[in-house]
Amino acid sequence: MANENVSVIFKVYCLTVMTLVAATYTVALRYTRTISTEELYFSTTAVCIAEVIKLVLSLGMLTKETGSLVKLKATIQEHIFCSPKELLKLSVPSVVYAVQNNMAFIALSNLDAAVYQVTYQLKIPCTALCTVFMLNRSLSRLQWFSVFMLCGGVSLVQWKPAEATKVEVEQNPIIGFIAIAVAVLCSGFAGVYFEKVLKSSETSLWVRNIQMYLSGIVITLIGVYMTDGERVMEKGFFFGYTPWVCFVVFLASVGGLYTSVVVKYTDNIMKGFSAAAAIVLSMVASVILFGLQITMTFALGAFLVIISIYLYGLPKQDTSRLTRKDTNLEDKQKLISV
């Protein structure tokens, strides 16, 4: 009983943290992008700093995993300095994730956090398609049904987007939706690609993360130079940074790492509940902070998305026993008829 209680408590803890991180990140990022534009920070630098923090945290976790500095040095020597092909392999998701993270800033600069949170769930059908084509997996009929339901829900949300009355910054919903679409495609492809790389060898998760974040730092620095190079040189790398911006960078850094770890101890149903709860929290926060006016189409679309997430996470039914029973019944019927 004790073990079961600890297990339940830990799963609830995982669900709570995953939900709070997802909801808080979108709302906080939205807040930092809709305040005075005169002191607006450079989003490319925030993405770069997040990659650096992820690298440091991964090094810390790898140190704990190896158990000593000597083993840590040997592991880094083997998998980092002596494995240029592996670094090149992990540079692919690095580029894609860098694009995805920058698109999140663009999207939340033009869309409300709740609208973003609902629309971003399109990553589920995108990931499903990538899983089918890249990992040769199959989806159940219920999962395909939930995918189409999710797309319908997102369409309702975007049909007449909810408006925020307290946001005075100029916004372009079309640009925001395009940014989410790009982020969704990047999320689906990069997630499945990284999973395929992880399962193709016995290399540690933290080693793979380090390989990816090293490439990510270089790629995001190039992005800073190409996008905001002159303004960064003029105003400084940390121009416009406030405690809220630092909080967003912290959530972006810890959130991804934490999610990748706790997923081992949860199932798809729990992740579905987490995503659904994050949508609800984002809606409540958007109403309070940004004066979001929820329309009937938005509410219905969000409800369909939440239901579809739950349905998609349901475990597949094992039909092997049913098939055996059916065959036994057929055999009996044949004997009776004879």
Domain ranges for the chain: 8-314
How deeply is 263 buried, as exposed, middle or buried, from its count of CB atoms within 10 A (0-12, 13-18, 19+)?
Answer: middle
**Model confidence over 95-105: pLDDT tens digits?**
999 999 999 99
**Model confidence over 266-292: pLDDT tens digits?**
555 566 667 777 888 888 888 887 777
Note whether 27 and 285 are within 8 A (CB): yes
- Angle subtended at Cα 168 by Cα 166 and Cα 172, rounded to the nearest 5 degrees: 110
**Model confidence over 303-315: pLDDT tens digits?**
888 888 888 777 7
Q: Decide which of 256 and 255 is more confident.
A: 255
Q: What is the pLDDT of residue 39?
A: 78
40-44, 272-276, 309-313, 328-332: segment of lowest average pLDDT: 328-332
In degrees and rounded to multiples of 5, residue 114 shows phi and psi of -70, -45
Q: Which helix (H) or strand (E) holds 162?
A: none
How far apart (Å, rounded) are the C-alpha atoms in residues 181 and 284? 24
With a pLDDT cut of 90, the percent of the chain lying above it is 30
